Amino acid sequence: MSKSISGFSKLSKAKKIDWIVTTYFSDSEEARKIIEQYWNTDAKVQKLHDEFIENTITNYYLPLGVAPNFLINDKLYTIPMAIEESSVVAAASKAAKFWLNRGGFKTKVYSTIKIGQVHFMFHGDFNKLRTFFNNIKPQLLKETASITKNMEARGGGILDIELRDKTSDIKGYYQLHVSFETLDAMGANFINSCLEQLAKTLQTEALNFELFSETERRIDVVMSILSNYVPECLVRAEVSCAVEDLTENDAISGEAFARKFVQAVAIAEVEPYRAVTHNKGIMNGIDAVVLATGNDFRAVEAGVHAYASRTGRYRSLTHAKLEDGRFYFWIEIPLALGTVGGLTQLHPLVKLALELLHHPTARDLMQIVAVAGLAQNFAALRSLTTTGIQKGHMKMHLMNILNQFGANEDEKQALTEYFKSHTVSHNAVSDALHILRSKT
Comparing 2-11, 70-79, 320-329, the range with the smallest average pLDDT is 2-11
How far is residue 285's CA from residue 378's CA, in Å, rounded to a whole number?
11
What rounded mean pLDDT belongs to the chain? Answer: 93
pLDDT of residue 314: 98
Side-chain half-sphere exposure of 189, counting CA atoms within 13 A: 6
Catalytic residues: 85, 280, 296, 393
User: Among residues 61, 60, 106, 69, which one has the least CA distance to residue 89?
Assistant: 69
How far is residue 220's CA from residue 133's CA, in Å, rounded to a whole number?
15
Domain ranges of the chain: 8-50, 64-110+234-387, 114-226, 393-438
Q: Which amino acid is residue 173, in one-letter code?
A: Y
How far is residue 335's CA from residue 197's CA, in Å, rounded to a whole number?
26
Q: 94 versus 412: which is more confidently predicted?
A: 94
The reported pTM is 0.89
How far is residue 377's CA from residue 393's CA, in Å, rounded to a whole number?
14
What CATH number does domain 64-110+234-387 carry, 3.90.550.10, 3.90.770.10, 3.30.950.10, 3.40.50.300? 3.90.770.10
How far is residue 285's CA from residue 302's CA, in Å, rounded to a whole number?
16
Comparing 77-81, 210-214, 434-438, the range with the smallest average pLDDT is 434-438
pLDDT reading at 395 higher than 60: no
pLDDT reading at 398 higher than 90: no
pLDDT of residue 391: 56
pLDDT reading at 393 higher than 70: no
Q: Are 59 and 42 in contact (CB under 8 A)?
A: no
SS3 of residue 124 by DSSP: coil
Q: For domain 114-226, which architecture applies?
A: 2-Layer Sandwich (3.30)
H helical segments located in 51-87: none
Residues 6 or more apart whose Cβ sits within 8 Å of residue 385: 257, 260, 261, 264
Comparing 48-57, 163-172, 212-221, 409-418, the range with the smallest average pLDDT is 409-418
